[in-house]
Amino acid sequence: MERITVSFPEQILLLMNMGSKEILASMKQEYAIKMYIESKLTLAQSAEFCDMDLYEFALLLSLKKIPVIDYSPDDLESELIQFSA
């Protein structure tokens, strides 16, 4: 595993009123969401990246109004027809 170090000015850390573990978790979540939106990571990969299980990450996306499953209208119709038959 590769390790990355990020430095913040102490003033900024004080303004954020967050501990280093909270900041790291938040940064990982936001980056995982970005990579998921850009289709660079799958849902499962994004969840793993930010140390969440699949359902926690899906809930996080839902809370941020980000589609967890993104079907086109035609794809959705095909799926619904397939499962209703």
> pLDDT band at residue 82, thresholds of 50, 70 and 90?
confident
Residue environment code for 1-26, b if the CB has 16+ CB neighbours within 10 A, otherwise e:
eeeeeeeeeeeeeeeeeeeeeeeeee
- The residue among 67, 66, 42 whose CA lies nearest residue 54 is 42
Q: Backbone phi, then psi, for 32, in 5-degree steps?
A: -60, -40
Can you give the pTM of this predicted structure?
Answer: 0.76
pLDDT in tens, 40-75: 999 999 999 999 999 999 999 999 999 988 777 777
Q: Tokens standing for 43?
A: 């849902």
Check residues 14 and 76 and name the one with the higher pLDDT. Answer: 14
